[in-house]
Amino acid sequence: MPSRQQLANAIRALSMDAVQKAKSGHPGAPMGMADIAEVLWRDHLKHNPTDPNWADRDRFILSNGHGSMLIYSLLHLSGYDLPMSELENFRQLHSKTPGHPEYGYTPGVETTTGPLGAGISNAVGMAIAEKTLAAQFNRDGHDIVDHFTYCFLGDGCLMEGISHEACSLAGTLGLGKLVAFWDDNGISIDGEVEGWFSDDTPARFASYGWHVIADVDGHNPEAINAAIEEAKSVTDKPSMICCKTIIGFGSPNKSGSHDCHGAPLGEEEIAAAREFLNWPHAPFEIPADIAADWNQSDKGTASQSSWNDKFSAYQAAHPELAAEYERRVIKGELPADFASKADAFIQECADKGESIASRKASQNAIEAFGKVLPELLGGSADLAGSNLTLWSGSKGIQDDAAGNYIFYGVREFGMSGIMNGISLHGGFINYGATFMMFMEYARNAVRMSALMGIQNIFVYTHDSIGQGEDGPTHQPIEQLTNLRTTPNMVTWRPADSVESAVAWKNAIERQNAPTSLVFSRQGLPHQTRSDEQIANIAKGGYILRDSVGTPEVILIATGSEVSLALAAADQLGDNVRVVSMPSTNIFDGQDANYKASVLPSSVTKRVAIEAAHTDFWYKYVGFNGKVVGMTTFGESAPGGDLMKHFGFTVENVVNTVNSL
């Protein structure tokens, strides 16, 4: 029977061989953490390689994602659909083994990691989702939601500020089923970290309210196992297991050094490592007895079968809850009547005709949709009163684990990373809010959401220089362009309550991409529309007011500037068409005939109006058109004064059109 050392050495051999064949990669972390991974994956991790998406599986996150060959080795050895040919194709085009683990590429990879600190924030989100789902669905004698989230992380993850944001909140929320493993090897790319990372990490995590297990020998299976057992027994706090390891363990001449962090070991050193580890096998060769001991397929199938029996008993005892669990968690479906109720609310907004700030219109939508969507889980980065994200049914999870609202505190980046984890876990549609300007703090996590193609609803209020007296530090200029040009991201900037309701409906129904909803601080006038125009809002851009006969001029506007475009059209005469384009991303996805019907190529006199950066709009107005927008930062003054100062006036729009 193979020893634990031999089982761990299988990871080391595969990792150094794949990196060497690719001529790039990071062998040090996989070789250093192999012993920890062997104990966790073979003795503790609840998973089923034959069904990687089993709802009650434990989640495993490799936050130090540069060590991707660690997770690829584990998945292959455990029996996932990741054949050896994929490991041999490491870091090559269209392989299932990209340079950093990517969600959707590789069965068993729970999230895309690479940006350091991202994984641990995702893990916090997954642990929040597990705890909240358990509180919402579990009943006496029926614990159908009962799994752990395990996360490996390195010094780099701990140096990144997002780890502070996320882990601080995790301690406050008492996430007892979150277990993190710190790979304390003292090495980063530049060398020994003591020159730039001398934090007392155990004390830091203890101050967060974590259960800390310090000074664990990361190469001693018995010590590792004891630490995991202790961590699992502490149910009211997340646990940090501090593992002292040697980076590149097994490499006689490069272990313990940054030389093995981010480069292949070289053929000569690999040969020496094989001798040191007593691994006399050819590259990518795993002996049959070691492969058999590693394979977890039968164990995983039995574990899932046992859970299926538990769920059957749950169905018999609580049939309505079981049906709701299947809808939300297993199938990920919306309630059957959601679309009809959402359409009724949109019509209600049209009938009411309220002139309100779009952030208030957003809150009204949350109020309406929250009543029919128990899976809606919201939050704000300490701006609930300004973002207007609370509704009458909001219950903070810090007081009631079965609640539906997260007070994230001033943690825009952490919030967005946590949201990614919640979405990846499943069972929720989550939204999180901050000021539009502070999307910049969260930018990397927002991009990761788009990269993974997962559903998140990012609510951004205070969308322009209309923010006013707070000045240019709080006034977004280039952020809308940033969001609109991010692949997979869908961005909306509604003009009134009706467009806001349509935007919310679209975001809730969009399961394969994140949505950014951008709302105003100031009040916006209601726009009257026909039924056809209301229907066309969902196409991203539509004719809000048409010319008499063929248009000679087209004004394109979004958000607060739509009313300005209409006022300018009143002065310009009957030959002007006004197009409201709340979502350029959605409009761009329409068929050519529809786009041409809204923006006919024969009309070259076009002006776009938006209190944001001008450059984005030239794709719609062309070389002959002009843009009334921003080319500088804002100023500190009342919002109305700023709009006049920067040219968002009827007079300036009219003059701009006449100058064409």
Q: How many CA atoms lie within 13 A of 572 on its CB side?
A: 32
Residue showing tokens 């930018």:
443
Report residue 655 as tokens.
């003059």
Helices (DSSP H) in 138-249: which residue ranges? 155-159, 161-173, 201-208, 221-233
Q: Is 66 annotated as a binding residue?
A: yes
Report residue 23 as tokens.
């001529």
- Spatial strand order of the sheet with 490-492 comes to 405-407, 376-380, 429-435, 457-461, 515-518, 490-492
DSSP assignment of 26-50 equals --HHHHHHHHHHHHHHHHT----TT
DSSP assignment of 297-339 equals HHHHHHHHHHHHHHHHHHHHH-HHHHHHHIIIIII-PPPTTHH
* Nearest residue to 426 via CA among 359, 511, 507: 511
Phi, psi of 524 (to 5 degrees): -125, 140
* Nearest residue to 215 via CA among 202, 231, 230, 205: 202
Q: Is 115 annotated as a binding residue?
A: yes
Q: Is 59 annotated as a binding residue?
A: no
Q: Is 318 annotated as a binding residue?
A: no
Instruction: Tell me how far CA of residue 195 lies from CA of 186, 215, 267, 403, 434, in angstroms.
Output: 10, 21, 31, 44, 36
Amino acid at 437: M
Q: Is 114 annotated as a binding residue?
A: yes
How far is it, in rounded angstroms, from Cα 109 to Cα 111?
A: 6
- 359 SS3 class: helix
Q: Is 462 annotated as a binding residue?
A: yes
How far is it, in rounded angstroms, from Cα 11 to Cα 2?
A: 14
Report residue 644 as tokens.
């006049």
| 412 assigned to active site | yes
* Residues 122/421, Cβ–Cβ less than 8 Å: yes
Report residue 425 as tokens.
């876990």
Phi, psi of 74 (to 5 degrees): -65, -45
How far is it, in rounded angstroms, from Cα 617 to Cα 608?
A: 6
Q: Is 156 annotated as a binding residue?
A: yes
Catalytic entry in 412, 499, 552, 610: 412
DSSP assignment of 383-438 equals -HHHHT---TT--BTTT-TT-SEEE--S-HHHHHHHHHHHHHH-S-EEEEEEEGGG
Element (H, E) at 71: helix 68-78
How far is it, in rounded angstroms, from Cα 222 to Cα 210?
A: 23
* Nearest residue to 461 via CA among 530, 394, 383: 383
Binding site for substrate: residue ranges?
26, 261, 359, 386, 462, 470, 474, 521
Binding site for Mg(2+): residue ranges?
155, 185, 187
Binding site: residue ranges?
26, 66, 114-116, 155-156, 185, 187, 261, 359, 386, 438, 462, 470, 474, 521
Binding site for thiamine diphosphate: residue ranges?
66, 114-116, 156, 185, 261, 438
Which positions are catalytic? Answer: 412
